[in-house]
Structure 1
Amino acid sequence: MNQVHVESEFAPLRSVVLARSEVSAPESAASNPDLEFLPASARAKMFTGDLRVADPARQAAWEAERQAFAEVLQRNSIRVLTPRLLTDAEKETAGDDGYSNFFARDPFFTIGDHVIEGSLRFRHRRGEIWPMREIFDAEVYPSPARYVAVPPAEAARADDPSLGPGPFLEGGDVLVLDKHVFVGSSGLASNDLGYRWLRKYLAPFGYTVELVRLHENILHLDCALGLVRHGLMVVCPEAFLDGIPDRLQGWDRVEVTMPEAGLLATNGLPLSSDVYVTDPEFSAIGSQLENRGVTVEYVDFSITRSFGGSFRCSTQPLHRAP
């Protein structure tokens, strides 16, 4: 039986879901204020419709990035699971909002032996969970893991910039450190109601869930903080409205600036406490990690990063444990 359990952000990665490269942007994307967290270079490349049609060369290069990353994972003896593509019916259901199937981190997340479907704030991302459910059928249902879902978000008026009360809870905001779980909230993704739901759900299982307030230009917590191993993190201190959480005080830091955080400098992926994957853009960070005894693997992820996510965003572990 395949195991489903995530102990921490840096426990040895055994089995992981790696995202597909599928997105269609609505005509309103270029003027959407919620996308201002993207760097100017990424906003300048905004497109309309399915990327396969709008820019086939960029689509092909994007898929090649993901394949190169998959090869690194497999070379490190990690089992890689791939979601299916969206169906025509699912694309039609999305309507004018557009659709996406491009970051596996957010539509669900794994905490201990709990697999939890999230509730995404952006309308074009709310169908991202559908392609994951075949994986749940094969991997989660046969396992002893619990499988639950955040309550669906309430409907909001078309002109409501908040997109309603939620609850919103996205995997990019959820970082696991044994029985302590951090949940980020900037106003762009997970919110207080989503945090309160997770706290209530996990309390009987002995977890502490901590809300971490973030700068309004930070999409998710993992865009400001990466736990590399116990006692070592990559972090953007400026992104935390209340300072770095007390639980992480005293940890060794590789610090990045807000502009670097916007480029996804903290969004590398530990394959274990000893091996870390990042983009060559962040070789200075890689050098600092290597000086601390971490082996760093590099994959060019520039196109993936232009969509607002990187290595952690592209993956969701099902099994991380010694």
Structure 2
Amino acid sequence: MPLDNARVQVDSEFATLRTVVVSRSEVRAPKDLATIGHRPPVPDSAQAEVAAIAGHDFGEAFPREQLRWEAERDNLAAVLRKHGVEVLRPRLLTDAEKAAGATTGYANFFVRDPWFTIGDNVIEGVLQFPHRRNEVLTSRELLVEHVIPSAASYVALPTPAIPDPGTGAGPGPFLEGGDILVLGKHIFVGASGMATNAAGIEWLTKYLRPQGFIVTTVPLPAHVLHLDCAFGMVREGLLISCPDRLPQGLPAPLEDWDQIHVSETEAEAMATNGLPINPTTYILDPEFDRVAAALQFRGITVELIDFTISRTFGGAFRCSTQPLNRTD
């Protein structure tokens, strides 16, 4: 590992990205989509495709689209490397892991959610959707190699309770990285009921409080999977937000920030889910040319990458990355 990238710490959503994990592209939906417990969190235009892969690996059902999907993540990795970012990749799922998900499904496609970094804490979370419960396993080797030798803490949430049949996901605790946004000692955690729950937030608050962190819950509408599907920080004082997805508005520390507003339709297509490389450079899909123009007007350099297939699954650039070193 390069010495200048050996630190494991995330100071904010827009601090200079130095080491990041970029997702793989593997998913198999459950045979019975009802076992997800919620309507699949993907755009309305993709519901038919999700139904078509129930019980099937996406790459087997749609081989051409699978190649495009892999190319999207490879292109993202290439742009990040161009900007001097060290890029790591999770391993692929093993045959045994795929076999274990024959009924529940499996996922290795959005590394933002199964674990996350807050300050110098690396935390393994717990995902609500059954087909994603083991997604952390493909990152374990990276965590052992990069986190264990570092000064960072490495912890995991308690194993969630097993629910009674027909009662949904159960009490958890559930805590997912897409719901967690970092701004120094302020940690914002989304809560829609589809991902992170109160038990997960309570655990995180208790763990972080001795370190001086302030954890703030941000309520979300029931159809919004994660907080980064409602707003995203670009740099100090600037963010992209969807007011329709923030029923109680922005958290108090962000109320006075300059906002680029997007509609519900744009947010569903992942307009808030770009990725800052540093405070002056931002990655976005060309689908959002209006947002790109607004960023450029504010002095932000925008790198455009087609992420059509990734967005079909309800995630984009932030969902497809997990920083290990984001520091100034």
Which letter does structure 2 place at the counterpart of 1:191? N
Equivalent in the alignment of 1:84: 91
- Asked if the contact 2:36/2:130 (under 8 Å) is kept, the reply is no
2:82 counterpart (70, 75, 88): 75
The Cα shift of 1:55 comes to: 1.1
1:153 counterpart (140, 160, 164): 160
Given the two structures, how large is their TM-score scaled by the length of structure 1?
0.97
Q: Say which SS state the counterpart of residue 278 (structure 2) adopts.
A: coil
Deviations 1:204-228 (Å, cap 9, x if unpaired)? 0010000111011110000001000
The Cα shift of 1:35 comes to: 2.9
1:116 counterpart (115, 123, 132): 123
Q: Does 1:8 align with 2:12?
A: yes
Q: Say which SS state the counterpart of residue 282 (structure 2) adopts.
A: strand
The Cα shift of 1:155 comes to: 0.7
The Cα shift of 1:185 comes to: 0.6
The Cα shift of 1:159 comes to: 1.6
Q: Say which SS state the counterpart of residue 101 (structure 2) adopts.
A: helix
> d(CA) in 2 for partners of 1:91 and 1:35?
23
Count of residues in Structure 1 that have an aligned counterpart in Structure 2: 321
> d(CA) in 2 for partners of 1:3 and 1:222?
25
Equivalent in the alignment of 2:199: 193
> d(CA) in 1 for partners of 2:245 and 2:198?
18
The Cα shift of 1:158 comes to: 3.5
Equivalent in the alignment of 1:19: 23
2:134 counterpart (100, 103, 127): 127
- Asked if the contact 1:264/1:309 (under 8 Å) is kept, the reply is yes
The Cα shift of 1:90 comes to: 1.5
Q: Say which SS state the counterpart of residue 302 (structure 2) adopts.
A: strand
Equivalent in the alignment of 1:96: 103
**Further displaced range: 29-38 or 152-161:** 29-38
**Further displaced range: 149-158 or 306-315:** 149-158
Q: In 2 relative to 1, CA 33–136 (structure 1 residues): closer, same or farther, beyond 3 Å?
A: closer
> d(CA) in 1 for partners of 2:162 and 2:34?
23
> d(CA) in 2 for partners of 1:276 and 1:289?
9
Q: In 2 relative to 1, CA 110–278 (structure 1 residues): closer, same or farther, beyond 3 Å?
A: same
> d(CA) in 1 for partners of 2:183 and 2:98?
36
- Asked if the contact 2:37/2:129 (under 8 Å) is kept, the reply is no
The Cα shift of 1:241 comes to: 2.4
Equivalent in the alignment of 2:254: 248
Q: Say which SS state the counterpart of residue 9 (structure 1) adopts.
A: coil
Deviations 1:121-158 (Å, cap 9, x if unpaired)? 00000010001110011100110100000111111134
Q: What stretches of structure 2 of length at least 5 have no aligned partner? A: none
The Cα shift of 1:108 comes to: 0.3
- Asked if the contact 1:116/1:147 (under 8 Å) is kept, the reply is yes
The Cα shift of 1:29 comes to: 2.6
Equivalent in the alignment of 2:170: 164
> d(CA) in 2 for partners of 1:168 and 1:32?
14
Alignment of 1:152-231 (within 5 A): 152-161=159-168, 163-231=169-237
Where has structure 1 moved over 3 Å in runs of 4 or more? 30-33
> d(CA) in 2 for partners of 1:36 and 1:246?
31
Q: Say which SS state the counterpart of residue 285 (structure 1) adopts.
A: helix
> d(CA) in 1 for partners of 2:205 and 2:150?
24
- Asked if the contact 2:191/2:217 (under 8 Å) is kept, the reply is yes
> d(CA) in 2 for partners of 1:245 and 1:237?
12
Equivalent in the alignment of 1:53: 60
Equivalent in the alignment of 2:283: 277
Q: Does 1:262 align with 2:268?
A: yes
> d(CA) in 1 for partners of 2:214 and 2:183?
10
Q: In 2 relative to 1, CA 207–31 (structure 1 residues): closer, same or farther, beyond 3 Å?
A: closer
Given the two structures, how large is their TM-score scaled by the length of structure 2?
0.95
Deviations 1:202-256 (Å, cap 9, x if unpaired)? 0000100001110111100000010000100000111112221111111000001
2:239 counterpart (216, 219, 233): 233
Deviations 1:257-301 (Å, cap 9, x if unpaired)? 112111111000000000000100011101000000000000000
Q: What stretches of structure 1 of length at least 5 have no aligned partner? A: none
The Cα shift of 1:36 comes to: 4.6
> d(CA) in 1 for partners of 2:170 and 2:255?
35
- Asked if the contact 1:30/1:43 (under 8 Å) is kept, the reply is no
Q: Say which SS state the counterpart of residue 166 (structure 1) adopts.
A: coil
The Cα shift of 1:27 comes to: 2.2
Equivalent in the alignment of 1:106: 113
